[in-house]
Structure 1
Amino acid sequence: MAVPIILGAIAGATALYGVVKGASGAIDHSNAKDINTTAQSLVDGANRSVEEQRKATNTVLEDYGTRKLRAFNGVIADFVDTFGKLKNVKAVHTPELDKLNLGDFSKITLQALRDDYALLKSSGLGLGSGLGGGAALAFGAYNGTMLLATASTGTAISTLSGAAATNATLAWIGGGSLAAGGGGIALGTMVLGGIVAGPALAIFGHIVGNKGEEALNNAYSNLEQARTIKKEAELMCSKLEAIQRVSSLANTTFSKVSSKLRRAVSDLTSTVEASGVNYARYSDEEREVVFRSVKFAQLVKAMIDTPILDENGALVLSTEKRTEEIAALAA
């Protein structure tokens, strides 16, 4: 009878092991579910933070681009027209602007402003027109040379085709899918300092199978991936915040400088109406009026020529310092 007793004991132990193992598997599955919930929460929070910062950065860049367009269609056009009437003005030198390496304001500089404005009008962005979101972004992010190079190809800036659309960062900030060289930039794709994030930042699969231990290990793996994504999102946000901060500074500075140019052009217009267009006959006070208009026109042009982003979508590190220098000179 000893053998049946032993076999019965083994069967009982096996059954007990099965119960314990089953309970352990159920606990593992429950823990895996909790861990995955935590991981998903981390990813969802990271996604929300990046999206909120993206929208904030987009808003500031669009506003800056729109402001620059208004200046071209308004005060810059007025300056070009009024200053262009003057005779016997070979060059106007403004020593206080030497630190910005702007040089003399000559007929060459004036012609460059004329050419820029002509390109804007030929691209459908003249007086009375508006900017689409993508074009406003490009106008805010790029300097005049980079942006107007797009227009010189004969393609309207308002379509944001050509070189501007190849910038993945700018396309992502704009939140749209923009055609680029026959291909495309998918919505939600961003490249900032080597960081690449997919649209949904999705990393999780289903907890499947009967092996609770495997589900638990997968959940821990998901949690590590979620923590990595959270860190990458924080870095993305910091880069977007930097772009927003510099764009906001540029926007404020440009507004102040263009306002001063507007007053200076008004004074210049009054001088021309009162004393004619022969600069050689102007008094020192009248020449000072000309100097002031040129000074602020140079500062406005310096702002237009100072990009926020480079062609690869990275923040131009020198822009903040240069903008602060321009603001100081305009004070």
Structure 2
Amino acid sequence: MPIPIIIGAVAGAAAIYGAVKGVSGAMDHSKAKDINADARSIVDDANINVEKQRQSTFNILEKYGKRKITAFDGVISDFIHTFGRIKNVEIVNTPELEKLGINDFSSQSLSDLRQDYQALKDAGLGLGAGLGGGAALAFGAYNGTMLLAAAGTGTAISSLSGVAATNATLAWLGGGTLAAGGGGMALGTMVLGGIVAGPALAIFGHIMGNKGEEALNNAYSNLEQARTIRDEAKLTITKLQAISQVSTLASEILQKITIQLRRSIENLSEVISQEGTDYQKFSPSAKKVTLESVKFAQLIKAIIDTPILDKDGNLVLSTKKKIENIQTSIDI
């Protein structure tokens, strides 16, 4: 066969091969584009779901925080004033309070309650000052001692700035500075025990400059990372749901005790108007009314002193059990 014919045949075969590879490369690019679109959709859905639960958990904790400070501004303040009028009080502890680790209510207990109330007032959380800028969220998540320690004793807590410095979870939940700095879902999953999702998003796209096979491999890698992000998002949502569940339970129990304490204070006021302020001269029924008001005041203090989150932003696992015990004590 003459050499020109051989060269022509080789060139033709190369052209055919090139055309086939070109078609294959185009198909790989098209498939890679579809796979990347799926990966983006998975991550977008994960972000949306986490954000919904973040907002829900924020609302629940914020509502609980407002309910706690309302209790201090309302029934706790009224109890301090009314019970403080009674002299020569001898309170015997009850078994249900002993189960909760609550000691008998003495003059020292009343003094401690007054100090807690005054500390919250000094921190800008009392007497209708309001709980804006995430402070209600922090008060819902922490007990009073933790909140004041994080924000700085004697410093007005008008925002989350003091707390956020020590608790990234609260900063993220409240949309604070850390989230505003670009954390978003990545910060949330990192704080709550997951992975940082952000870097995976950066490698999506820009595949057309690659060879078809390389683009396809990158797309499959993106899809795997997207699935990992989805799984970590589910873990984050589960943890947020657990925080929401405990906070909701605590808020509901606090509301019930608050109602019962308010009634008890009204009854105690009637006792004082009828029998005076010397506990030693009270009738058995009057002493029972006094003991009942003390019990509910102690239960409110117990639930307010029970934090939902620890200083690192994790759910305190013992909190749910303690709140359930408090719930059991209400009707005893």
The normalised TM-score by structure 2 is: 0.93
The answer for the alignment partner of 1:34 in structure 2 is 34
DSSP-derived class of the 1:124 partner: coil
Kindly indicate whether the alpha-carbon contact (under 8 Å) linking 2:133 and 2:159 is maintained by their aligned counterparts in 1: no
* CA distance, structure 2, for counterparts of residue 85 and residue 152 of structure 1: 33
- Give the whole-Å Cα distance in 2 for the aligned partners of 1:201 and 1:66: 38
**TM norm structure 1:** 0.93
Matches within 5 A, 1:104-143: 104-143=104-143
On the 8 A contact 1:120/1:151 being kept in 2, the answer is no
Residues 1-331 of structure 1: pairs in structure 2 closer than 5 A: 2-150=2-150, 153-163=153-163, 165-177=165-177, 187-188=183-184, 189-190=187-188, 191-197=190-196, 202-203=201-202, 204-331=204-331
Residue-pair matches, total: 327
Partners of 2:199 and 2:299 lie apart in 1 by 43
Q: CA deviation at 1:219?
A: 0.4
Show CA shifts across 1:47-81 (max 9, x none). Answer: 00100000010010000000001100000000011
Task: Quote the Cα distance in structure 1 between the aligned partners of 2:200 and 2:35.
Answer: 17
The one-letter code sitting in structure 2 at the alignment partner of 1:8 is: G
Write the deviation string for residues 10-66 of structure 1: whole angstroms up to 9, x where unpaired: 000000011001000100000000000000000000000100000010010000000
Q: Would you say the 8 A contact 1:258–1:300 is kept in 2?
A: yes
Give identity over the alignment, percent: 59
1:116 CA displacement = 1.1
Greater strand proportion: 1
Q: Mark the runs of 5 or more structure 2 residues left unpaired by the alignment.
A: none
Q: Give the superposed CA RMSD.
A: 2.0
Distance 1:109 1:198, change over 3 A: farther
Paired AA for residue 303 in structure 1: I
Q: 1:174 to 1:196 in 2, by over 3 A?
A: farther
Deviation of 1:210 after TM superposition, in Å, equals 4.8
Return the offset for 1:271.
Answer: 0.9
SS in 2 for 1:166: coil
C-alpha distance in 1, partners of 2:248/2:91?
33
Distance (whole Å) between structure 2 residues aligned to residue 185 and residue 303 of structure 1:
34
Whether the 8 Å contact between 2:303 and 2:323 is mirrored in structure 1 is yes
User: How far has the Cα of 1:304 moved from its partner?
Assistant: 0.5
Unpaired segments of 5 or more residues in structure 1?
none
